[in-house]
């Protein structure tokens, strides 16, 4: 087990190192970083300021030295300043990330609690009305775009029925689990989690059907093992690897910023921040967001590998 975890941890470290190289390389390929601090056309910065900024950023040194200087500052949490208001980038990102984290956890909870049970029911009740209902739910979830569902939800639920707020999040000091706060999460979390729930349902159903048709399940039933034990202990546990992979990837995507949902519902999260940084040409903020996305994917993949080892011990020795 220790050797397995050590190998996976080494892969994660290598992935993060490669991500930093790519992010730094792209930042240099876009042009001279000093021009980002100038007005359109390259004006607004004197030759003296230009040279001083070059020395501050280490642009007078070889590219490899520049990379390690940038990496050292990044590891210390120094990601530079925003170009618009000259605020620390780490502070701006730190203010938005908790909002995305809360929305992501709500959405992934909905997707798991709906998608996995529907996949199990669809597999054990295949060919019945329950199977067709579950598959129809998955089909709609895969076919309908999130931005359209979000806009229709706002139009019907918020505008016509006035049941839930149409966007953003509560700024009140109420208890976090109070209705005053939770009502802002319902529509964004449901819209964000609908597509993953459909994906979880389909992949769980496929994995369950493959296991249920295997010889080991037939043998267990021939021995007289109770059907509930066959379904949950033998079939469901052995079919968890594909859904677990999908959950890890989906959660990383949520944490990296659900751009469409955050934009539709004006949710002040990382995804919306990244989109605004593109509009504003705020490259330091965009670089920080991309680097954060890479870190989240690497860490969640490592956690998924740990989950594989506990679900299926054979993976530890592969």
Domain residues of the chain, as ranges? 2-75, 94-310
Specify the pTM.
0.76
What architecture is the 94-310 domain classified under in CATH?
Orthogonal Bundle (1.10)
pLDDT value, residue 7: 79
255: which residues sit within 8 A by CB, 6+ positions away?
Answer: 100, 101, 104, 270, 296, 300
pLDDT value, residue 170: 61
pLDDT value, residue 166: 76
**pLDDT tens series, the chain, 318 aa:** 667 677 778 888 888 888 888 888 877 776 666 666 655 444 456 677 667 767 766 667 777 887 888 888 888 877 777 766 778 888 888 888 888 888 888 888 998 899 888 888 888 888 888 888 888 888 888 888 888 888 888 888 888 887 887 776 665 554 556 667 778 788 888 888 888 888 888 888 888 888 877 777 777 777 777 777 777 777 777 777 777 777 878 887 777 667 888 888 888 888 888 888 877 777 778 888 888 888 888 888 778 777 766 666 655 555
Range 179-217 burial, b when 16+ CB lie within 10 A, else e: eebeebbbbbbbbbbbbbbbbbbbbbbbbbbebbeeeeb
pLDDT value, residue 41: 47
């Amino acid at each position: 087990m220790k050797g397995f975890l050590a190998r996976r941890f080494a892969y994660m470290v290598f992935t993060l190192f490669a991500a930093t190289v790519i992010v730094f390389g792209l930042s240099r390929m876009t042009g001279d970083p000093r021009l980002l601090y100038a007005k359109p056309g390259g004006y607004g910065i004197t030759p003296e300021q230009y040279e001083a900024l070059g020395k501050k950023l280490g642009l007078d040194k070889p590219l490899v030295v520049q990379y390690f200087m940038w990496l050292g500052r990044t590891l210390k949490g120094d990601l530079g300043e925003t170009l618009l208001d000259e605020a620390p980038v780490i502070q701006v990102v730190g203010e938005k990330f908790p909002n995305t984290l809360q929305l992501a956890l709500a959405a992934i909870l909905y997707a798991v609690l709906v998608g996995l049970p529907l996949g199990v029911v669809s597999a054990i009740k295949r060919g019945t009305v329950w199977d067709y209902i579950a598959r129809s739910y998955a089909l709609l979830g895969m076919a309908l775009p999130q931005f359209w569902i979000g806009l229709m939800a706002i139009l019907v639920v918020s505008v016509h029925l006035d049941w839930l707020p149409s966007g953003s999040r509560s700024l009140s000091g109420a208890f976090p689990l109070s209705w005053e706060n939770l009502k802002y999460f319902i529509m964004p979390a449901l819209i964000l989690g609908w597509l993953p729930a459909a994906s979880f349902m389909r992949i769980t159903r496929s994995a369950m059907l493959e296991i249920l048709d295997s010889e080991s399940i037939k043998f267990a039933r021939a021995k007289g093992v109770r059907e509930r034990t066959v379904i949950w202990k033998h079939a469901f546990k052995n079919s968890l690897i594909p859904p677990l992979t999908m959950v890890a990837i989906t959660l990383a995507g949520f944490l990296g910023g659900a751009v469409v949902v955050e934009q539709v519902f004006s949710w002040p999260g990382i995804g919306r921040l990244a989109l605004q940084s593109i509009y504003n040409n705020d490259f330091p903020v965009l670089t920080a967001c991309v680097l954060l996305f890479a870190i989240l994917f690497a860490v969640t993949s490592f956690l998924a590998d740990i989950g594989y080892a506990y679900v299926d011990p054979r993976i530890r020795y592969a």
